[in-house]
Each structure stands twice: as structure tokens, then as C-alpha cells.
């Protein structure tokens, strides 16, 4: 079965509420579950707490933009020392600079969170009437044996609730766990396959429900593999400050574009080829392999769907020098 076709089937199973066991076969699932248990033992439990990054960033005129961050330890910035080094802090400061408005950051993410915890985080997020939300979740689903179809079904529920409340949503898809140093072959290759597959299914489901994704896979891939001492933190699992900054650089343009502070029709700095508009399942598989690739809904000749499903646009937005606005409250 082709990777795009497999991702499409898993996404369909998530939409229908199925567990997805039939798509893998019992023997394969048993092996994956056993390997996931070994991964959990190898990595260990998270240590420490992420800095409290909640607050106001920037001091421009107008009402603050309400920005919420949901997800797991990567979303909340476990492993760094200051609020300004967390993904939320970096992105809030960048968004304040791009918009010339203050940004109120609220972080509902917490270390150890799985997608099953997203419902409570969405409850917390909706209480502050968010304008835009970032979700990074899925790595713990891999190490806790949650099937992708179940994980994505829960993600879709959260995305739908946020979109129904008028909040724009950007999802940083599951990182490539095949770059985690403590994992040895063949577990490392299995982790890479499993996490990329989850990222592709996340992309299909999220775009189908009115949000956009940015691939984090290879931001924790070739760059991290080449410089693990710089881009991984002391536990060799969570990113360092430099690693979080690398992810924030890729995420900021998409978050800003979602609320109108980055041009949607901007040319990509690194073309993905002539076929930038693809069926969503093909776009999802391609994005899972390419660092910082955004996937959003598109249309062809006025049609949202073609013979192979919804059309999707892949792009890499150009990076800009952004003056960082500090936390002011």
C-alpha cells in the first residue's frame, strides 16, 4: 500500500472513530506496541518543569492578540531556563513584532500530555477567547502505544472546537522521533516510521477541518541528527534553546499568516517543485519529510476537491529578521 493511500485510510478511520487495528494487522501492532514500551523505558520520564511563559509580550497599541499554546512538553518548552526561550515565548514575541500589537500568551500545554488530554486544554484555552492557537502533540502518543487513528480523532475534536469558536489553528505535526539519541537501531527506524506516519495523518485531518499544519519532523531530523549536542537538551530527548528557536522560526510565518500578519500570496523561498498543489494525502506524506513545510487547504479552478480528495497547498514561507518584543507583563 502506498504511503499516501495508507495515510488517507488512517485519517478516514479517525474520522469514523475506528481504532485502525485492521489497517495494520495484529502482529504488526503487537510489535509496534512492544517497541513503544521499550522506547518509553529508554527515554524515561520527563524531568523538571517548563518555565511559566504566560503573560503579555510587546507594548504596541491596540488590544492584545490572544495566543494560546496547547500540547505536550515540546509545546510548553521543557528543558530551557527562561520564558523567552520557550516556543510560546519566542512566538509571542515574534508575533508582537510582526503585528505591532501586544500579544497575550496563555500556555495550556504540559509535560507528558497525550492527545487524550487535549479536551481539557481546549477548555482552558477557550476561557481566554483565543485569536490563534498552536498545537504540538503526538510524541507521547507514539511512546504510549496510542494508534494514530485514535490520536488523530482526538486532535480533530480539539481543532473543531477551536475553529467553531472563531480561533485560527496551526498544528505543528509530530516530530521525527527517529532522531532521539538514546534510541538504537532498529527502534530508531521504527520510531521514525511511526512518527512520520502520525504526522501525515495529522496533516490530512487538520487541513480537512479548517486549520493548517507545519511539519516539525525534519526540524528534529537532519539538523538535529547533525548537531545533537546543540539542538537537543541535556536529556537528549527534548530540544535545547537553539532547537526550540529552530522550530519557532518555521512556525511563526504560518501563525502570523493565519491572523493576517503575513501575506498569504507570498512566493516560497525554497520552491517545492511545480506541483505545489497536490491531493491532501500526497501533500501530507511529502510534508512529513520536509522541514518547516506548511500545508493548507487550496482549490483548483474553483474546486476544493479532485478525484483523490481535497486539494492542498504546500509551501515554505521565507524567513525574516524579526525584532523580538520582550515580555512586559
Active site residues: 73, 235, 238
Is residue 50 helix, strand or coil?
coil
CB within 8 Å of 273: residues ≥ 6 apart: none
State how far the Cα of 210 lies from the Cα of 163, in Å rounded to an integer.
7
CA torsion sign for 13, 14, 19, 25 is: positive
- Report CA dihedral (78, 83, 86, 92) to the nearest 10 degrees: 150
DSSP letters, 118-140, are HHHHHHHHHTT--SEEEEE--HH
Backbone angles phi, psi at 70, to 5 degrees: -125, 155
- Report CA dihedral (124, 126, 132, 136) to the nearest 10 degrees: 40
State how far the Cα of 53 lies from the Cα of 72, in Å rounded to an integer.
14
Report the candidate in 52, 283, 91, 57 with the shortest Cα–Cα distance to residue 170: 91
State how far the Cα of 320 lies from the Cα of 120, in Å rounded to an integer.
35
Backbone angles phi, psi at 291, to 5 degrees: -60, 135
Report the candidate in 222, 206, 232, 234 with the shortest Cα–Cα distance to residue 296: 206
Amino acid at each position: 500500500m502506498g504511503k499516501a493511500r495508507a495515510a488517507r485510510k488512517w485519517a478516514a478511520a479517525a474520522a469514523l472513530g475506528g481504532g485502525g487495528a485492521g489497517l495494520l494487522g495484529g502482529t504488526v501492532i503487537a510489535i509496534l506496541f512492544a517497541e513503544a514500551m521499550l522506547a518509553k523505558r529508554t527515554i524515561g520520564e520527563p524531568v523538571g518543569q517548563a518555565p511559566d511563559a504566560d503573560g503579555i509580550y510587546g507594548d504596541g497599541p491596540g488590544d492584545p492578540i490572544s495566543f494560546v499554546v496547547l500540547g505536550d512538553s515540546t509545546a510548553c518548552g521543557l528543558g530551557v531556563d527562561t520564558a523567552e526561550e520557550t516556543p510560546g515565548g519566542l512566538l509571542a514575541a515574534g508575533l508582537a513584532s510582526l503585528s505591532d500589537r501586544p500579544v497575550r500568551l496563555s500556555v495550556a500545554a504540559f509535560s507528558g500530555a497525550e492527545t487524550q488530554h487535549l479536551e481539557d486544554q481546549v477548555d482552558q484555552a477557550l476561557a481566554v477567547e483565543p485569536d490563534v492557537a498552536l498545537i504540538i502533540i503526538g510524541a507521547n502518543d507514539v511512546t504510549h502505544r496510542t494508534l494514530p487513528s485514535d490520536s488523530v480523532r482526538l486532535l480533530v475534536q480539539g481543532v473543531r472546537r477551536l475553529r467553531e469558536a472563531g480561533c485560527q489553528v496551526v498544528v505543528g505535526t509530530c516530530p521525527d522521533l527517529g532522531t532521539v539519541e538514546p534510541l538504537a537501531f532498529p527502534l530508531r527506524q521504527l520510531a521514525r516510521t511511526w512518527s512520520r506516519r502520525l504526522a501525515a495523518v495529522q496533516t490530512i485531518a487538520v487541513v480537512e477541518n479548517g486549520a493548517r499544519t507545519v511539519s516539525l519532523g525534519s526540524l528534529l531530523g537532519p539538523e538535529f541528527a547533525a548537531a545533537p549536542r546543540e539542538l537537543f537538551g541535556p536529556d537528549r530527548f527534548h530540544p535545547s534553546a537553539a532547537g526550540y528557536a529552530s522550530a519557532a522560526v518555521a512556525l511563526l510565518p504560518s501563525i502570523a499568516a493565519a491572523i493576517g500578519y503575513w501575506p498569504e500570496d507570498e512566493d516560497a523561498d525554497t520552491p517545492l517543485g511545480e506541483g505545489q498543489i497536490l491531493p491532501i494525502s500526497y501533500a501530507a506524506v511529502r510534508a512529513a519529510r520536509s522541514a518547516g513545510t506548511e500545508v493548507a487547504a487550496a482549490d483548483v479552478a474553483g474546486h476544493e476537491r479532485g478525484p483523490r480528495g481535497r486539494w492542498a497547498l504546500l509551501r515554505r514561507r521565507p524567513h525574516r529578521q524579526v525584532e523580538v518584543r520582550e515580555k512586559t507583563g
